[in-house]
């Protein structure tokens, strides 16, 4: 077990029988900590292993310039009856008063991994640390102040290496969004990024369209009472899939793209990884890039190498002025477990990237994931109401676009094709889950039939591909252009 896992703040080895006050410091520390550990064992369950011996080594010294005192930096190894051993650390010094008790101060590794050791503090709101460079510092809300220096054996410090961010060596590029004619120049919602090449196969992935039923638009319009943001939030809350909705919620609850990225990773993790990410996210929400405050933020937490690694990754990848990347930070945080832990899905990465890029603006998120045709129609709801001459009326441009896609798919696949009938049923029902399945089925059917399709059907597929650019987002992995639905698309 690593240093400090069994040493609890507030314990002391300070009460000594006067008959042993002439003992050497090393003998005293060994006896005191041995008595403490034995007492802890004997008060627990009878089946617990008991302490059989200790081995104490002086590994350095620390000078407190405020109190003008020098402490021995001690490493105590404890041996138990079940052949188990662990290590604890402490600062020790003789009492400054004649006949007084020696002063013993517990120490444990820094849970953030930034400093070497956290030293027990009796002052509320102030923590003491031994930095990796030997500085003896205090950390409070007011900042960091050095009040002394420490020297220690390199082998002692080597037990607590600073985590190094994990990076991949084989990269692929990816971009996301709509066609240039739909939202402007490529990169409107993010320039090309890099991701692990093994994460997805190269190609172009079509995301599912956002389907808004007129009845939903009417309900949201009433509840929003003229508030544009509330209206968009209401619509998106009912039209997005579960993962996409979670992405929007992260962007709305975060104050920066960096914090949103941490939230998104936590949402898509499970178990301990999610809890660890949440700790770091809370620290980031409170302190941002004031990394010197993270030891204070995490003080008192159990030492966990995974949390240390997350802090190290955050320091590397969450820098102001630099757009954070979900996949880069995710790989750094969990390494090769990324594939299983994040359950990667190329289509859902549209919502992830849109959440980071749009910073909680529901309309911008709707444009990013649903296109400007959808946003224009929703804006019309706010100005002209729903139906008739308002939004989602008989001749609205969004419905026309979907109906034209229906027509071209029917011509390319046939009206009796299961993929086509599933697509049309999902669209008419405005069912996000059914549409997600239908998009994959249509894509598979069109690609399967590509070599045997008639010229007329091929032209219909190409026309459908052109129309898709207006109503469905897409992600390109590794390639700038690819053939989708019979049409060469580029992003």
* Beta strand extents in 7-50 (DSSP E only): none
CA gap 477, 491 in Å, rounded: 10
Q: Give residue 164's pLDDT.
A: 76
**Average confidence score pLDDT of the chain:** 77
Between the alpha carbon of residue 386 and those of residues 34, 383, 391, 406, the distances in Å are 78, 9, 5, 23
Return the higher-pLDDT residue of 260 and 320: 260
- Whether residue 23 is predicted with pLDDT greater than 60 in this model: the reply is no
Q: Give residue 47's pLDDT.
A: 59
- Whether residue 247 is predicted with pLDDT greater than 80 in this model: the reply is yes
Report the pLDDT averaged over residues 163-172. 68
Band of residue 181 on the pLDDT scale cut at 50, 70, 90: very low
Angle at which helices 257-267 and 326-334 cross, to 10°: 50
Q: Give residue 35's pLDDT.
A: 47
By the 10 Å C-beta count (0-12 exposed, 13-18 middle, 19+ buried), 275 is classed as middle
Q: Give residue 315's pLDDT.
A: 85
- Whether residue 140 is predicted with pLDDT greater than 80 in this model: the reply is yes
- Whether residue 302 is predicted with pLDDT greater than 50 in this model: the reply is yes
CA gap 472, 206 in Å, rounded: 7
Between the alpha carbon of residue 477 and those of residues 173, 174, 304, 349, the distances in Å are 6, 5, 35, 11
The 10 Å Cβ neighbour count of residue 203 is: 14
Minimal CA–CA distance to 299: which of 53, 469, 129, 477?
129
Band of residue 133 on the pLDDT scale cut at 50, 70, 90: very high
CA gap 391, 379 in Å, rounded: 8
CA gap 116, 348 in Å, rounded: 40
Report the pLDDT averaged over residues 426-455. 76
The 10 Å Cβ neighbour count of residue 329 is: 23
Return the higher-pLDDT residue of 261 and 205: 261
Band of residue 353 on the pLDDT scale cut at 50, 70, 90: confident
- Whether residue 34 is predicted with pLDDT greater than 60 in this model: the reply is no
Triad 106, 313, 118: Cα angle to 5°: 10
Report the pLDDT averaged over residues 442-455. 70
* Per-residue pLDDT reduced to its tens digit, 148-158: 999 999 889 88
Which helix (H) or strand (E) segment holds residue 422: the answer is helix 418-429
Q: Which residues pair with 140 in a beta bridge?
A: 143
Return the higher-pLDDT residue of 33 and 260: 260
Which tokens go with 342? 């994040």
- Whether residue 348 is predicted with pLDDT greater than 90 in this model: the reply is no
Percent share of the chain, pLDDT over 90: 14
Q: Give residue 204's pLDDT.
A: 66
Which tokens go with 151? 């020297």
Return the higher-pLDDT residue of 69 and 95: 69
Percent helix / strand / coil, the chain, rounded to 5:
45, 20, 35
Percent share of the chain, pLDDT over 70: 73
- Give the distance from CA 361 to its chain's centroid: 20
Band of residue 480 on the pLDDT scale cut at 50, 70, 90: low
Q: Give residue 297's pLDDT.
A: 87
CA gap 195, 331 in Å, rounded: 9
Band of residue 31 on the pLDDT scale cut at 50, 70, 90: very low
Q: Give residue 288's pLDDT.
A: 87
- Whether residue 30 is predicted with pLDDT greater than 60 in this model: the reply is no
């Amino acid at each position: 077990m690593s240093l400090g896992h069994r040493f609890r703040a507030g314990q002391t080895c300070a009460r000594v029988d006067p008959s042993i006050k002439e003992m050497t410091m090393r003998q005293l520390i060994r006896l005191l900590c041995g008595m403490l550990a034995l007492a802890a064992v004997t008060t627990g369950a009878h089946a617990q292993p008991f302490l059989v011996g200790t081995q104490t080594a002086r590994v350095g010294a620390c000078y407190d310039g405020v109190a003008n005192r020098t402490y021995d930096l001690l490493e105590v190894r404890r041996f138990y009856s079940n052949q188990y051993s662990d290590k604890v650390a402490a600062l020790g010094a003789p009492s400054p008063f004649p006949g007084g008790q020696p002063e013993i101060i517990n120490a444990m590794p820094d849970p953030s991994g930034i400093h070497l050791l956290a030293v027990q503090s009796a002052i509320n709101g102030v923590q003491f640390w031994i930095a990796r460079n030997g500085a003896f510092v205090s950390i409070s809300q007011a900042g960091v102040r050095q009040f002394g220096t420490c020297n220690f054996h390199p082998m002692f410090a080597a037990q607590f290496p600073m985590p190094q961010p994990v990076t991949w060596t084989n990269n692929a590029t990816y971009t996301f969004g709509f066609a240039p004619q739909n939202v402007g120049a490529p990169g409107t919602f993010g320039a090309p990024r890099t991701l692990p090449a093994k994460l997805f196969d190269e190609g172009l992935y079509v995301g599912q369209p956002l389907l808004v039923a007129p009845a939903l638009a009417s309900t949201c319009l009433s509840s929003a009472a003229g508030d544009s943001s509330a209206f968009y939030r209401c619509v998106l809350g009912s039209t997005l899939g579960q993962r996409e909705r979670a992405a929007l919620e992260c962007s709305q609850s975060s104050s920066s793209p960096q914090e949103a990225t941490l939230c998104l990773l936590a949402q898509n993790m499970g178990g301990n990884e999610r809890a660890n990410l949440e700790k770091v996210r809370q620290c980031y929400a409170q302190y941002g890039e004031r990394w010197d405050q993270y030891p204070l933020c995490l003080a008192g937490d159990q030492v966990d190498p995974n949390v240390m690694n997350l802090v190290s990754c955050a320091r590397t990848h969450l820098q102001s002025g630099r757009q954070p990347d979900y996949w880069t930070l995710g790989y750094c945080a969990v390494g090769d477990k990324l594939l299983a832990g994040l359950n990667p899905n190329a289509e859902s990465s549209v919502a992830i990237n849109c959440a980071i890029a749009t910073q909680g603006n529901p309309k911008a998120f709707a444009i990013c994931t649903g296109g400007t045709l959808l946003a224009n129609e929703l804006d019309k709801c706010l100005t002209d109401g729903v139906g008739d001459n308002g939004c989602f009326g008989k001749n609205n441009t969004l419905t026309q676009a979907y109906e034209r896609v229906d027509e071209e798919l029917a011509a390319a696949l046939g009206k009796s094709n299961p993929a086509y009938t599933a697509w049309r049923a999902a669209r008419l029902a405005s069912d996000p889950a059914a549409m997600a399945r239908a998009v994959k089925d249509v894509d598979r059917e069109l690609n399967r039939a590509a070599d045997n399709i008639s010229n007329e059907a091929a032209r219909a597929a190409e026309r459908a591909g052109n129309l898709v650019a207006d109503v469905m987002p897409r992600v390109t992995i590794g390639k700038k252009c690819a053939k989708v639905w019979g049409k060469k698309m580029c992003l």
